[in-house]
Structure 1
Amino acid sequence: MPRATHDVELSDIVVKRYRAVDHDQPRREWRALRLLRGTGLAPAPLRTDPHGTPPTVVMSRLPGTSLEAFTPGTVEAAARALAALHAVPCGALPARAGAPAVLLAQVREWCATVPPGHDALLDAACAWIARPDVEAAIVRPTAPVFGTGDGNVANFLWDGASVRLVDFEYAGRSDLAYELAEVVEHVSADGTGVLLLDAVALSRPEAARLRECRRLFALYWLLRVRDRPDVGTRQAARLASLL
């Protein structure tokens, strides 16, 4: 799993202190919380100190507990929350951190370090990602949507009836297929993200783009966790099924 990029202090409010600012995390989070204020989807912004040591954002505390996986009992509520989030006007926002072209370049760089001939799946995946038509499909977004920039299932809070969202430090302008692919293929969901696919309506271009973006995220995660036998084996099977 990714290393922690922040510390959180919980009381009747939430104080978030940032260890990393390489993607302008405090400003991104504060901007997102202000944009989502009044929607019921996210914490309310209370105050911020982006120049503090460390930089800090203070927000309201939401009810509910973090999901550990998507289930038939939570997936409809999660899909409704995502649909409402993606409908929030985002034209004035900067692109999310980890935009498609950036992630593609990162995964290609990692593939270049994989010795050929030792793993047939990685050979096939790295050959796929090198194709020009794949690059064209991934870097050409569909209609813009507001994106959280983080598909971790733990960022979905379930209170028994509704799902709300937290953790917007990578948020920005994105597109539906890319955002959905990140949630569906995030390693934290351990394959349960596919339940969302039956609950989200996609246009034909979005569906085609989703397929390529899912492969990209699945390969990204395999390259990150393949040295962990407990996770790497399952992630390899996911990527193989997508390819």
Structure 2
Amino acid sequence: MADLVHTHLLDFDGDVVTKRYIDGKPGAAEREWRALTLLAEHAPGLSPRPIAFEAGVVRMTRIDGEPLRGLAAEESPLAAMAAALTELYEAVPSGVLQAVPVRPWQIEAVSDWVRERAAAWRPRDPLADRAVEEGVRWLEAWRPGEAGVRPAFGAGDGNLANFLWDGVRVRIVDFEDSGRSDLAHEVAELSEHVSMWVDGEVEIARRFELSGPEERRLRDCRKLQSLVWLFLLSHDSPRNPPGTFARQVERVLRSLGA
């Protein structure tokens, strides 16, 4: 799940990047290394090439390109981003994917986190309070089930800063929360990330061909992710422009039809 805390340090030495995890996040380095190794085999060129691994440290090749935040609303980078994501989701063969651990922050864990934040919520303003109340009401009634679940390899972080545009293609970095997931959940997490709308609305979800059940799962997962960002953005951050939280409140209420 996206958060607003730095989890690692990056050191650059020519074409080599060393990523050192600093917050003791269990399994993060291992997930990063696993993802880079799998993608080097099944989707070479999509992500950095793995070089070496030791406890808490991953060394990989450096990828050139400009982060997509602020660029993704343009057609060429957006189309390239969708192509890169499609390649990512489909890269790992089904037989191999079945043996990949489920990535952190699946629906159950995210739902529990939202409930905990809602229980600790203190009255703030009428619209925000209403968004929390309506969100909890929707969440308690939601039964995700297995309809619309299409297995996919997920990166686990929708931040546009992790998508690098070189003028021709988009490549992907940052796999600390990666693993086995499902397509609708991944697209929902990506679509609702604050970086996808705070600088100008980017609608990525329509770039993927989804079945009816997948579309329904996507809509529900987007509601859940919008609630995640409601709480994450409830504390002002210098990363985002003034009024970001108020805009998120409106997004939540709109997604819930409230």
TM-score normalized with structure 2 length: 0.85
- Aligned residue in 1 for 2:37: 34
Distance change (3 Å), C-alpha of 1:82 and 1:241: same
Which residue pairs with 2:239 in the alignment? Answer: none
Q: Secondary structure at the match of 2:100?
A: coil
The percent identity for this pair of structures is 38
Question: 5+ residue gaps in structure 2?
Answer: 237-241
Which whole-Å CA distance do the structure 1 matches of 2:180 and 2:84 have between them?
A: 17
Q: Distance in 1 between matches of 2:244 and 2:207?
A: 26
Residues 1:7 and 2:12 are matched in the alignment: no
Task: Give unpaired runs (5+ residues) of structure 1.
Answer: none
Correspondent of 1:44 among 37, 43, 49: 49
1:150 aligns with 2:157: yes
- Other-structure match for 2:254: 241
Of stretches 203-212 and 69-78 in structure 1, the one that deviates more from structure 2 is: 69-78
How do residues 40-119 of structure 1 correspond to structure 2 at under 5 angstroms?
A: 40-50=45-55, 55-69=56-70, 70-71=72-73, 72-89=75-92, 90-115=97-122, 118-119=125-126
Cα distance per residue 1:35-87 (max 9 Å; x no partner): 0004221100000112xxxx210001112111114212311111111111100
Residue 120 of structure 1, CA deviation:
4.0
* Aligned match for 2:175, one of 138, 145, 168: 168
Q: 1:152 to 1:88 in 2, by over 3 A?
A: same
8 Å CA contact retained: 1:151, 1:182: yes
Q: How does 1:141-220 map to 2 (within 5 A)?
A: 142-190=149-197, 192=200, 194-220=202-228
**Structure 1 residues 126 and 142: alpha-carbon distance in aligned structure 2, compared to 1, 3 A threshold:** farther
Deviation at 1:216? 0.9
Paired AA for residue 225 in structure 1: L
From 11, 23, 28, the equivalent of 1:25 is 28
When normalised by structure 1's length, the TM-score is 0.90
1:230 match = 243
Paired amino acid for 2:8: H
Superposition RMSD in Å: 2.1
Conservation of the 8 A alpha-carbon contact between 1:101 and 1:139: no
Indicate the larger mover: 102-111 or 1-10. Answer: 1-10
The SS at the match of 2:19 is strand
